Structure 1
Amino acid sequence: MPEIDIKKQKILIVEDNPHFRTLIQSILQALGVENIEEARDGAEAMEVLRGYDADLAILDWKMDGVDGIECVRRIRNDTESPNRFLPIIMLTGYTEESLMNEARNAGVNDFLGKPISAKSLLTRIISVLDQEFSYVETETYFGPDRRRQQFPHQGNDRRKEQMNFVKLKVYERMESRVG
């Protein structure tokens, strides 16, 4: 996979708090990103996206007007959406699992908990842009395949246990022949 050049990325920031929006923009500029657009809520973001071919959207969850979750739903499901495949990072101060599931079910690609740092933002951006997400469309969902994460196997490894059992049987046979 080619290395991501963050400086060439077109990034949309959707954040209702002007101070936090400026902070995100300052971090992106310090990282070398030159092409940045901003929106104060999800409705404004949809308008911006009609004329701006973003490579990534960074959205706050809780905003006045159209919030981040509703904006994600519009990006993913609206027939007039300019880019249903737009990679989306959701910013949130709420990291409860049920809320993360709600955002994932709306179609976000990844999350970043507040407060953020330049390092955490850069890491998340590269992670999202570097992955080739499979997208799924059903009657009730369009977005990145939610099964994309690989979790380590929980519980005993039966294959290993079976191999140990086979080794034990072979050892017992060898001993019975020798002794």
Structure 2
Amino acid sequence: MRIERSGNEFADFKVALVDSEEFGVSIFKSIAASIGIHNVLAYASAKAAIGNIRIAGMPDILFVKFSGSNKNALQLCRLIRDRETFSHPFMPVVAIMEEATVASVTAVRDAGVDEFLACPFSPKALGERVRSIVHDRRGFVDLSGYFGPDRRRGAMAKWLGADRRSDPGPLIDPVTEQPYIG
């Protein structure tokens, strides 16, 4: 993960977008450019994205468009978070959602995304999600059946003991890939 630089904080960011619609890619690139992100790699499918990420390396952030009943997007997120089969399981993932229903947000959250953007979104909203990942990324939890960002935010995301619901499991720093030391 790159640290904020003087001037345009996103000038040398490399982001990837998985979206099968050319118009959606065009809109995303325009909004990204308006906040200073000019290096956007676009992939029409999850398969193309994974293949290129395995060859070319991890982008700073992967944006995945979720539309309709797109099961490939969910499978992509689950594949990324599978530490046994994917070499970059800590890659930041932002879901771009055409329809943000409770069911769809829950499914995407459970697949391990870091952040959400509901369509249509503004440059301000995009910038907020990118800054959240860069400056305040949540730790990862490693539980049976789930590996991904802690669903809690802020100070609660640093809590290492048992909470009122259940033991959250080990909390892992996504930058160092080591357990947090409390």
Code of the residue aligned with 1:106 in structure 2: it is A
CA separation of 1:125/1:6 partners in 2, compared to 1, >3 Å: closer, same or farther? same
Q: Match for 1:107 among 105, 112, 116?
A: 112
Where in structure 2 are the equivalents of 1:19-58 lying within 5 Å? 19-50=23-54, 51-58=56-63
**SS state at 2:88 partner:** coil
The structure number with the bigger radius of gyration is 1
**SS state at 1:8 partner:** coil
Where in structure 2 are the equivalents of 1:48-127 lying within 5 Å? 48-50=52-54, 51-62=56-67, 67-77=72-82, 79-127=84-132
Instruction: Kindly report structure 1 stretches of 4+ aligned residues shifted beyond 4 Å.
Output: 63-66
2:12 maps to 1:15: no
Code of the residue aligned with 1:26 in structure 2: it is S
* Structure 1 residue runs without a partner (length 5+): 152-179
CA distance in 2: counterparts of 1:89 and 1:64, whole angstroms: 18
TM-aligned CA deviation for residue 148 of structure 1? 2.9
CA distance in 2: counterparts of 1:64 and 1:16, whole angstroms: 14
Tell me, yes or no, if the aligned pair for 1:42 and 1:65 is still in contact at 8 Å.
no
Larger deviation: 112-121 or 59-68?
Answer: 59-68
TM-aligned CA deviation for residue 66 of structure 1? 5.9
TM-score (norm 2): 0.73
Tell me, yes or no, if the aligned pair for 1:10 and 1:55 is still in contact at 8 Å.
yes
* Structure 2 residue runs without a partner (length 5+): 157-182
TM-score (norm 1): 0.74
Tell me, yes or no, if the aligned pair for 1:43 and 1:66 is still in contact at 8 Å.
no
Tell me, yes or no, if the aligned pair for 2:64 and 2:93 is still in contact at 8 Å.
yes
Task: Give percent identity, aligned residues only.
Answer: 24
CA separation of 1:130/1:103 partners in 2, compared to 1, >3 Å: closer, same or farther? same
- Aligned-residue RMSD, C-alpha: 2.2
Partner of 1:6: 10
**SS state at 1:128 partner:** helix
CA separation of 1:96/1:66 partners in 2, compared to 1, >3 Å: closer, same or farther? closer
CA distance in 1: counterparts of 2:51 and 2:25, whole angstroms: 18
CA distance in 2: counterparts of 1:78 and 1:22, whole angstroms: 32
Higher relative helix content? 1
Q: Deviations over 1:11-39 (max 9, x none)?
A: 00111111111111122223222322111
